[in-house]
């Protein structure tokens, strides 16, 4: 009788390249079945990203040596997905117009500046810089912007080719994390600015209140392709040939104040993994989000809430 040899362990998953530095991912944080993410998207936000997940059984969340958390494959949202997500859930009004990143960025901008706002939504940032010329780019929301705002249905790569060096300031709030190529995006934003001009990029922080909420699917594709640390922001600034940046960690405001309540109310759990098909996790998500709405309505932003977002402030090399 011949002994049956032990089963071989599954081969190690090849580490994908960091989208900023190109270095291999240093740590696999989690494998997540797309069927779990689909169920969470349907239950939480009423949208189904099935067409975007076609042929993909699992997504893999990696940590880069530069501190970035990134998904492989990076599955970005398309127009149909965002029409459903934002239209059904009114996320732009949920985010709010009086956001800490808007106030912080506006304080860095001189009156009379020509400002490009990439991924601007309906252009709410324009109200914070009334003495400046504001041009917004957003293919999804150009048709719904209020009268009087200059919002164009253009991508930044084509705008940069036609308007290279045309602006004093370029900003992008909560855009870079949605893209498979954040470095290419940062370079295109910087191309639009004159030498010595200002570039400001706002992103969600990791770890933060947002990543402490169990099964919170906004952290996953096709919404977020990456989450950011100050170290990762410095890496993208260096690769985009921007000056040594100032990294401002922002207090909770608007939607992040609501998420700070959700994290405070969430059942305690390990920091990782981020997603799990367990009824205790699903119940924890529901409890967190419902309780957050009640507490935010009664008490406003929670006291001593940790920052959820960061703003990189840098200049284009002259």
- CATH number (domain holding residue 48): 3.40.50.150
Q: How confident is the model at residue 157 (pLDDT cuts 50, 70, 90)?
A: very high
Measured CA angle at 284 (ends 57, 293), to 5 deg: 115
Measured CA angle at 114 (ends 109, 119), to 5 deg: 85
Are 7 and 16 contacting, i.e. CB atoms less than 8 angstroms apart? no
- The residue-averaged pLDDT of 39-56 equals 97
3-state secondary structure (DSSP) of residue 217 = helix
Are 213 and 266 contacting, i.e. CB atoms less than 8 angstroms apart? yes
Name the average pLDDT for the chain. 91
Residue 5 belongs to a domain: no
DSSP state of 228: B
Residue 15 belongs to a domain: no
3-state secondary structure (DSSP) of residue 81 = helix
d(CA 110, CA 27): 42
Residue 48 belongs to a domain: yes
Q: Examine the pLDDT at 87 and tell me if it is beyond 90.
A: no
Termini Cα distance of the chain? 77
Residue 7 belongs to a domain: no
Residues in Cβ contact with 57 at an 8 Å cutoff, skipping those fewer than 6 apart? 33, 34
d(CA 292, CA 39): 22
The strand ranges marked E within 74-180 are 114-118, 133-137, 151-152, 167-173
Residue 236 belongs to a domain: yes
Residues in Cβ contact with 212 at an 8 Å cutoff, skipping those fewer than 6 apart? 263, 266, 271
Residue 12 belongs to a domain: no
Domain that holds residue 220: 27-315
Percentage of the chain lying above the pLDDT 70 cut? 93
Residue 10 belongs to a domain: no
Residue 13 belongs to a domain: no
Number of domains making up the chain: 1
Residue with the larger pLDDT of the pair 244 and 160: 160
What is residue 2's predicted lDDT score, i.e. its pLDDT? Answer: 46
Q: How confident is the model at residue 92 (pLDDT cuts 50, 70, 90)?
A: low
């Amino acid at each position: 009788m011949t002994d049956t040899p032990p089963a071989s362990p599954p081969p190690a998953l090849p580490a994908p390249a960091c989208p900023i530095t190109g270095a291999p991912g240093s740590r696999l944080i989690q494998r997540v079945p797309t069927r779990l993410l689909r169920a969470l998207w349907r239950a939480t936000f009423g949208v189904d990203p099935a067409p975007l997940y076609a042929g993909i059984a699992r997504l893999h969340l990696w940590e880069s040596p530069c501190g970035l958390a990134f998904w492989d494959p990076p599955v970005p949202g398309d127009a149909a997905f965002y029409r459903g997500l934002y239209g059904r859930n009114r996320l732009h009004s949920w985010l709010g117009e009086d956001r800490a990143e808007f106030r912080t960025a506006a304080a860095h901008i001189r009156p009379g500046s020509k400002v490009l706002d990439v991924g601007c939504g309906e252009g709410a940032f324009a109200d914070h810089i009334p003495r400046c010329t504001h041009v917004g780019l957003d293919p999804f929301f150009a048709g719904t912007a209020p009268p009087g705002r200059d919002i164009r249905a253009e991508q930044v790569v084509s705008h940069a080719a036609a308007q290279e060096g045309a602006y004093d300031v370029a900003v992008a709030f909560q855009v870079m994390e949605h893209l498979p190529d954040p470095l290419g995006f940062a370079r295109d934003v910087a191309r639009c600015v004159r030498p010595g001009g200002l570039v400001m990029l706002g992103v969600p922080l990791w770890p933060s209140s947002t990543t402490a909420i169990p099964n919170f699917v906004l952290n996953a594709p096709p919404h977020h392709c990456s989450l950011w640390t100050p170290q990762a922001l410095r890496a993208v600034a260096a690769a985009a040939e921007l000056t040594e940046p100032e990294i401002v960690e922002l207090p909770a405001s608007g939607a992040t104040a609501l998420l700070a309540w959700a994290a405070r109310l969430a059942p305690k759990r390990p920091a990782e993994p981020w997603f799990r098909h367990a009824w205790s996790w699903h119940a924890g998500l529901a409890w967190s989000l419902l309780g957050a709405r009640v507490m935010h309505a009664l008490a406003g932003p929670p006291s001593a809430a940790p920052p959820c977002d960061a703003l990189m402030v840098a200049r284009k090399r002259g």
